[in-house]
Amino acid sequence: MRRFGSFIYPRLVIIIPYAWLLLFFLAPFFIVFRISMSTTAIAMPPYTPVFSLAQGFAGNFAKLKELSFDNYLWLWGDPLYINAYISSVVIAGISTLLTLLIAYPIAYGMAQAPRSIRPTLLMLVILPFWTSFLIRVYAWIAILKPEGLLNQLLLYLGVIHEPLIILNTNIAVYIGIVYSYLPFMVLPLYSSLEKMDGTLIEAAQDLGCPPITAFWRVTFPLSVPGVIAGCMLVFIPAVGEFVIPDLLGGSQTLMIGRTLWNEFNSNRDWPVSSAVATILLLILVVPIVFFQNAQAKADEQGR
């Protein structure tokens, strides 16, 4: 019995994560990919499936010759979708950079704070998650609209003489994304900075290194894993964000999440929508895989 346990338990540690990925990542991905290879139909669901369990293995294998990438070719020839992809990546990239610039001082201050108050500071960072994401985004409408709290405060202080037009612009989208995903950047950074050995900074200063130079030569390189993790946690969901551009952005705010929503619900074109979702997933996953392989090779060379 002990031999059986020593044989099966270590393998369960490997099998369970792979089974989880197979069930909740690969299976939905292949379902969406199957729909993307289908054709639109006036039915429910509104497409004609290429593969079907009722056809059996032989029937599905015979249909491999009928596979068509027309939906993907159509997307490639339509500037709307290309511009939506590019705009989504640009907006997500700028938002990620802004989030990093704001989150790093917060995480650094938390890591340098006395240990007795660090749990309280950590709770304050996580506190926004106790409120619905949708409610928090709606709250920014009340803050950013022309007669909102921000304009009223600036008018009262005499900073401006007429209300600023912030709502329904890309600026409002940046504000919403940075605010919503800020904790996802702070937490990995705080985790990396908290583990850092403070004596390294003291040693650098003893050797005549100014504080700013010590930060860039010692602190920041040691926090790079947290920076990378935080950027991924912000950039990946921001690319496919729908709620924030829809509520805070204007008609000129073009992001792939809104385009995908319109195709699914307004145009009822599920095959094209699935093709859009498949390409979006590849855009996000493929660079991450290459980056992880490069990091693994760099770690092996460092050893």
Task: Name the helix (H) or strand (E) containing 229.
Answer: helix 220-239
**Span 214-230, average pLDDT:** 89
What does the chain come to in residues? 303
Q: How confident is the model at residue 5 (pLDDT cuts 50, 70, 90)?
A: low
Under DSSP, is residue 39 helix (H, G, I), strand (E, B) or coil? strand
What per-residue confidence (pLDDT) applies to 95?
A: 96
What whole-number distance in Å separates Cα of residue 170 and Cα of residue 188?
27
Stretch among 5-9, 157-161, 267-271 having the lowest mean pLDDT: 5-9
Task: Over range 189-202, report the average pLDDT.
Answer: 86
Q: What does the block give as tokens for 301? A: 């060379």
Average pLDDT score over residue span 226-240:
90
Cα distance between residue 116 and residue 61, in whole Å:
64
**Which of 37-46, 195-204, 288-297 comes out lowest in average pLDDT?**
288-297
pLDDT in tens, 48-106: 776 665 555 555 555 555 667 788 888 888 888 889 889 999 999 999 999 999 999 99
Q: In angstroms, what CA-CA distances link 268 with 40, 80, 272?
A: 9, 17, 9
The CB-based long-range contact list for 221-226 (8 Å cut-off, 24+ gap) reads 222/192, 222/196, 223/104, 223/189, 223/192, 223/193, 223/196, 224/192, 225/188, 225/192, 226/107, 226/188, 226/189, 226/190, 226/191, 226/192, 226/193
pLDDT greater than 70 at residue 294:
no
> Rounded mean pLDDT of 209-237?
88
Residue 136 has what pLDDT? 92
Tell me how far apart the alpha carbons of residues 67 and 46 are, in angstroms, rounded to a whole number.
Answer: 18
| Average pLDDT of span 196-207 | 80
pLDDT at 40 over 70: yes
For residue 79, the model assigns a pLDDT of 85
Share of the chain above pLDDT 90, in %: 29
Q: Which residues contact 103 (CB under 8 A, 6 or more apart)?
A: 182, 185, 186, 189, 230
pLDDT at 275: 87
What is the model's pLDDT at position 178?
A: 96
The answer to whether the beta carbons of residues 243 and 100 sit under 8 Å apart is: no
Query: pLDDT tens digit string along 13-38?
Result: 778 888 888 888 888 888 888 888 88
Give the sign of the dihedral formed by CA 73, CA 79, CA 256, CA 294: positive
Chain segment 126-169, per-residue pLDDT in tens:
988 888 889 999 999 999 998 989 999 999 888 888 888 899 89
For residue 78, what are the CA distances in angstroms to 74, 85, 204, 258, 261?
Answer: 6, 12, 56, 16, 17
Query: Which of 44-48, 228-232, 252-256 shows the lowest mean pLDDT across its residues?
Result: 44-48
pLDDT at position 298: 59
Per the listing, tokens 């020839």 go with 77
Residue 7 clears pLDDT 70, i.e. is over it: no
What are the tokens at 202?
Answer: 């003291």
Give the separation between CA 243 and CA 257, rounded to whole angstroms.
8
Q: Which neighbouring-strand residues pair with 27?
A: none
Average pLDDT, the chain: 83
Res 110: pLDDT? 93
